[in-house]
Amino acid sequence: MESFSLLQWICIALFFCLCFGADPFANYEFELSYITASPLGVAQQVIAVNGKFPGPVINVTTNYNVVVNVKNKLDENLLITWSGIQMRRSSWQDGVLGTNCPIPPNWNWTYQFQVKDQIGSFFYFPSLNMQRASGGFGPFIITNRNIIPIPFNMPDGDIVIMIGDWYTRNHTALRKALDGGKALGMPDGVLINGKGPYKYNSTLVPDGIDYETINVNPGKTYRIRVHNVGVSTCLNFRIQNHNLLLAETEGYYTSQQNYTSLDIHVGQSYSFLVTMDQNASSDYYIVASARFVNQSLWQRVTGVAVLHYSNSKGKATGPLPDPPNDVYDTSYSLNQAMSIRQNVSASGARPNPQGSFHYGSINVTDVYVLQSLPPTTIDGKLRATYNGISFVNPDTPIRLADVYKVKGAYKLDFPNKPLDRPPRIDRSIINATYKGFIEIILQNNDSVVQSFHMDGYSFFVVGMGYGIWTENNRGSYNRWDAISRSSVQVFAGGWTAVFVSLDNVGVWNLRADNLDRWYLGQETYMRIVNPEDKSNKTEFPVPDNALYCGALSSKQKPQKTSSASIIRACSKLYFALLAVLLSAASQPFSEYGNEVSMGANLHRAIIQDLALEKLKMKLVVAPLPSSSLTRLCSSSESL
């Protein structure tokens, strides 16, 4: 091929690798809008994503770059957050008010982040003002790279089940109730994949309810990913006559053990391996029922779907499988939670075993006790607190305030333990230390079980118990194979202890995942800064398409096409160049062997794209300054 010189090969390779990096991009377009649906038989306004409720799945592979252009067709501000996605070095993409200015109605904003060194089952949802109570959520799956084995046989199929308590009032009505000092009260039901219960009982379930059916084949094993995306209710999940072999939770493989049912708290995600080993004399019930409540009063707050074998001989009939019989005793649930252990020998997103990080032998640098109490009235408003502080989000997001030196946007005075003083509304956040190793004790003195979530990290759940935590409780900690996750339950009148290694620079939200408590101010942020980083090695700079608000509102330009259009242009260019390369590759690559070996500064890279994963080529790559890359990709829009 005389027309292709070494320089031309290098130029093509530079476009290929440096506009795209070694890791592929996955592009999504999300439009959030209102639709009318009747999941419980009552017509109501729900939030759909691309017209769907729940929203579409994001399914990518470890280290993929994810680009999601979000169009806000609601009548109020919007942000999308990505529960469990760690946003390494980029809290700018986290999608909560402490890190992002909201997307106004009829605007769009493009998220761009890498799912760096992560695998597992997660979900996305709208983070503002109780919006998740009206929908807008969907599953987020990160699969292993082919070179990393999974610690079980490849399942025959992958099934997502999203469960959650549900109100026939929409999020604005629920907000109004809380603003008026009222509790939300009992939910109207439980949805499974956005649908109401199968009519297992003619008294409790009215006619005309659309229910979910999960179709399976006998003898096959499926990976079933279950997410509790509800408002505030812990749900017991079970499948009639089938064992649930727990395999993964929120990005970490677990020691595999069977459960007949599992309590899934708000914000939590699990993967089960379920083998279809029954005789299919009829369909089977899939049940999600409320926990720690009076069942006679809450009987209608039960989600029921149908597991349908392809050779099933009839519909599911009879009573539902029994839930745990411990309404007023949470010890069973607590012991079950602590039985979930990490598979220390399995590889996660990286080749090294999950247990190679010996968290139990690391010295703790800081201890924080976060105490929650029942909501109380502060300055005439119903509020919820951590350590007596009910958080109110700053007008200017925290890191934007740092970069542009906005004074007074927040305070770095969040107390590391409860103080003997009246509760107050404030903007206090935690001033944490980069590369510290901290212990957080979640002390729940509220009257309801709560879920605690941390953005940007997973943490080791080393202990749970009842009463007031003391230093003596450290003797009961699991220092070897504690599960690592991003959402954990804290039982009423009890405590949960977690360890966290602070290696991710940024500002990260710590919150109650119970939507009512979160809305009432039970949250704060952890600010982690690397003072030695002067060149954005540990934290990415402010995105080019950042939205501005608060004290920086004057910097906001009128809405225009997102900068992610450059990425999509590079994507189109990528495939065009790939076609050229494939054409060139029709000639033996050995023709260029001598030329390749002559380049002393050249190195080799393997380029792979999901859409063409069978078409792999070894390309010659030379370094290119980042400024040249910027000009190169920017100019590609005109191609």
- Tens digits of residue pLDDT in 304-362: 999 999 999 999 999 999 999 877 778 999 999 999 999 999 998 888 898 888 999 99
Residues 491-526 have pLDDT tens digits of: 999 999 999 999 999 999 999 999 999 999 999 999
CA distance to 85, 148, 317, per residue, from 117 (Å): 10, 11, 45
pLDDT score for 364: 97
Chain-wide mean pLDDT for the chain? 87
- Is 630 a residue whose pLDDT tops 70? no
Residue of 595 and 215 predicted with greater confidence? 215
Q: What confidence category does residue 560 fall into, taking pLDDT thresholds of 50, 70 and 90?
A: low
Phi, psi of 583, rounded to the nearest 5 degrees: -65, -45
Please write the tens of the pLDDT for every residue from 234-267: 999 999 999 999 999 999 999 999 999 999 999 9
Place of tokens 């109780």: 130
The 10s digit of each residue's pLDDT in 3-57 is 445 445 444 444 444 444 478 999 999 999 999 999 999 999 999 999 999 999 9
Q: What is the mean pLDDT of residues 414-426?
A: 96
Check residue 103 and report its DSSP letter: B
Measure the CA–CA gap between 542 and 561, rounded to whole angstroms: 18
Please give the average per-residue pLDDT across 373-379, as a whole number. 97
Structure tokens at 75: 């009548």
Question: Residues 186-209: what's their mean pLDDT?
Answer: 96
Closest alpha carbon to 390 in 366, 424, 367: 424
Nearest-10 Cα torsion for 199, 201, 202, 205? -60
pLDDT reported for residue 210: 97
Which segment of 18-27, 151-160, 213-222 scores lowest on mean pLDDT? 18-27
Query: Which residues lie closer than 8 Å to 207 by C-beta, 6 or more apart?
Result: 199
CA distance 510 to 298: 30
Find out whether the peptide bond into 54 is cis, omega within 30 degrees of 0.
Answer: yes
pLDDT of residue 356: 83
The dihedral through the CA atoms of 557, 561, 565, 566 has a sign that is: negative
Q: What DSSP state is assigned to residue 211?
A: B
**3-state SS track over 106-174:** CCEEEEEEECCCCCEEEEEEECCCCHHHHECCEEEEEECCCCCCCCCCCCCEEEEEEEEEECCCCHHHH
Bridge partners for 249 per DSSP: 252
Q: Which residue matches tokens 């009982």? A: 201
E strand or H helix that includes residue 566: helix 564-584
Query: Three-class SS of residue 53?
Result: coil
Q: What are phi and psi of 318, to 5 degrees?
A: 90, -175
pLDDT on residue 325:
81
In this predicted structure, the answer to whether residue 604 has a pLDDT above a threshold of 70 is no
User: Longest Cα pair distance anywhere in the chain, in angstroms?
Assistant: 82
Decide if pLDDT at 609 tops 80: no
pLDDT tens readout for residues 170-195: 999 999 999 999 999 999 999 999 99
User: What's the rounded mean pLDDT across residues 574-598?
Assistant: 41
Cα-to-chain-centroid distance, residue 241: 30
Q: Cβ distance 573 to 639 under 8 Å?
A: yes
Lowest mean pLDDT of 83-92, 188-197, 523-532, 607-616, name the range.
607-616
Q: Provide the CB-side half-sphere exposure for 329 (13 A, CA).
A: 6
